[in-house]
């Protein structure tokens, strides 16, 4: 099972990339692709299309395009989890609740998030979203393994 993570501009700016990536590696999760990029407005609008009608949509677009991010594709072998949904749940458990104030200590957002808008990291919320989101940022030949 492949899924996407994005270390957002606040995580990159604060120098947390290594710490965040190591949390996945310590759980045995492998990276298939990683790159430092500046998200375009087109990519951002595709990523956040599900929020298009919400009042915070333009803030999401402005923030994710405000500075460099690290995008990564991670792989969780289905032999290690029950199914694709549990693979997504594992990643989201490492990441923590969207609102850092509600994320438990020990999660990425619980330890480093400042507020709901600057919550350090994005993680796909379903196998279908993962497939779509990966295609926004990576070509198949950019992945190894």
What are the structural domain ranges in the chain? 2-36+69-140
| Per-residue confidence band for 110, with pLDDT thresholds at 50, 70 and 90 | very high
Q: Which residue has the tokens 């919550």?
A: 119
**Exposure on the CB side of residue 93, measured as CA atoms within 13 A:** 7
Write down the mean pLDDT value for the chain: 95
**For the chain, how big is the Rg over CA atoms in Å?**
14
- What is the chain's length? 145
As annotated, the active-site residues are 122
Burial of 94 (0-12, 13-18, 19+ CB in 10 A): buried
Give me the CATH code for the 2-36+69-140 domain, please. 3.30.70.141
Q: What is the pLDDT of residue 145?
A: 76
9-53 tens-digit pLDDT: 999 999 999 999 999 999 989 999 999 999 999 999 999 999 999
pLDDT confidence of residue 119: 95
- pTM as predicted: 0.95
């Amino acid at each position: 099972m492949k899924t996407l993570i994005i270390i957002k501009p606040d995580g990159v700016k604060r120098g947390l990339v290594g710490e965040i990536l190591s949390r996945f590696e310590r759980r045995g999760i492998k990276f298939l692709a990683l790159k430092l990029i500046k998200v375009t407005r087109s990519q951002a609008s595709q990523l956040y299309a599900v929020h298009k009608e919400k009042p915070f949509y333009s803030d999401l677009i402005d923030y994710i395009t405000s500075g460099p991010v690290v995008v990564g594709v991670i792989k969780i072998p289905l032999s290690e989890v029950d199914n694709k949904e549990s693979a997504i749940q594992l990643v989201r458990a490492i990441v923590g609740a969207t609102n850092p104030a509600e994320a438990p200590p020990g999660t990425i957002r619980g330890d480093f998030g400042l507020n709901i808008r600057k919550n350090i990291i994005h993680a796909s919320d379903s196998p279908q979203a993962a497939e779509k989101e990966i295609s926004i940022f990576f070509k198949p030949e950019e992945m190894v393994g």
